[in-house]
Amino acid sequence: MKQVSVIGCGRWGSFLAWHFASLSEKVYLYGRESCPDFTGLRERRSNDYLTLKDNVILTSSLDMTFEAETIIISVNCQGFRETCSEIVHAVSNRHRFILAMKGLENATGERMSSIARDLLRTENVAILVGPGHPQSLVAGIPTLMLIDSDDTSLRDVLVDELNTKLIRLYKGSDLIGNEIGAALKNVIGIAAGLLDGRGYSSLKGPLMARGALEVARMIEAEGGDPKSAFGLSHLGDYEATLFSPYSKNRGFGESFIKKQPFKGLAEGVETLRAVRKLSLKHRLEMPICDALHRVLFEERDPTEILNELFARPVKDERAPMSEYSLG
């Protein structure tokens, strides 16, 4: 590829610009002039994780980013609509969008790919999901991720072009399931942080088992394949999200229960609001997500809520999905 653009210069966006600079002649990395991440990169060409390569061009001009054919977007999910409104005028049929965010819109429950197709008026939309922290990747520790799209030809071309030894890419075949799975792993990550903060880390094994099943039910209710919950987008990302010290969502959960300040963006917080809306829409029982919602937004005591989870009526571990409907 001759040129790639990355919109969003946070931890993940700056890493993607750094990484794909080895595949491209030129990479545009966009950030706002008011963003500390951008001003820091512009002054030093480095952040806490990496030093930008010479062919990475920092820009605060969105129009300049559209000189590239492949445009990777890595911004706060809750601000994605605003980003789309700022760039729609520059979109043409030659542009290909890769959404490198993991979350659902809190007000609507919509997936990022759905918002992109509607607002950017294009079908050239793919997602990049799966485990990865810049701290590990910059150190040369490889990972596996996947690209998915409703357009399988676009997916195949992007996998061929972007596959590297550092990030081995797989082809997804369930956009709905992979997008929801990627978003909800952040929610389960917050729950893991609560367990760590309470000293119940040994319960993260059961959390993974029951959490993945809970997410599978949501995926199925939204029209996806429930098996996607057990792939790279969700279960495959659990180590990076539920255990890693680099996980923002796990760190938020631990800080929350310890009543400590937290710096950084935990996308799972606002995604949890979306999950609540979707579970009510589908009349779907989601015990872990419901419990987490009560702790974060209804000011319930975490230990009390955990005890309520353990006091739930006993069910067969492999109970049919229909048994978890509130209808």
Residues 123 and 200 in one domain: no
pLDDT for the residue 315: 67
Query: Which of 171, 194, 223 is the last residue in one of the domains?
Result: 171
Structure-block tokens of residue 153: 């030809």
pLDDT tens across 124-166, in order? 999 999 999 999 999 999 999 999 999 999 999 999 999 999 9
All residues at 6 or more sequence positions from 232 whose CB lies less than 8 Å from its CB, including other chains: 129, 130, 131, 144, 145, 146, 170
Distance between CA atoms of residues 301 and 117, nearest Å: 41
Residues 86 and 228 in one domain: no
pLDDT tens across 174-229, in order? 999 999 999 999 999 999 999 999 999 999 999 999 999 999 999 999 999 999 99
Residues 247 and 138 in one domain: no
Distance between CA atoms of residues 321 and 327, nearest Å: 12
pLDDT tens across 221-253, in order? 999 999 999 999 999 999 999 999 999 999 999
Within-domain flag for 142: yes
Range of the domain at 196: 185-324
Would you place residue 312 in the very low, low, confident or very high pLDDT band (cuts 50, 70, 90)? confident
> Pick the residue with more confidence: 325 or 203?
203
* pLDDT at position 325 over 70: no
pLDDT for the residue 224: 98
Q: What are phi and psi of 72, to 5 degrees?
A: -95, 130
Residues 195 and 311 in one domain: yes
Residues 7 and 143 in one domain: yes
Within-domain flag for 176: no
Number of domains in the chain: 2
CATH of the domain at 232: 1.10.1040.10
Residues 9 and 94 in one domain: yes
Residues 158 and 14 in one domain: yes
Residues 163 and 207 in one domain: no
Tell me the average pLDDT across 52-64. 95
> Pick the residue with more confidence: 262 or 317?
262
Query: Which of 113, 140, 171 is the last residue in one of the domains?
Result: 171
Residues 160 and 281 in one domain: no
CATH of the domain at 68: 3.40.50.720
Would you place residue 327 in the very low, low, confident or very high pLDDT band (cuts 50, 70, 90)? very low
pLDDT for the residue 318: 64
Residues 44 and 119 in one domain: yes
All residues at 6 or more sequence positions from 76 whose CB lies less than 8 Å from its CB, including other chains: 101, 265, 267
Within-domain flag for 252: yes
Residues 141 and 212 in one domain: no
Structure-block tokens of residue 55: 């062919």
* pLDDT at position 54 over 90: yes
| pTM to 2 decimal places | 0.94
pLDDT tens across 78-87, in order? 999 999 999 9
Within-domain flag for 177: no
Q: Whose CA is closest to 293, among 274, 308, 307, 312?
A: 274
- In the three-class reduction of DSSP (H, G, I as helix; E, B as strand; rest coil), residue 318 is classed as coil
Within-domain flag for 205: yes
> Pick the residue with more confidence: 165 or 322?
165
Residues 22 and 133 in one domain: yes
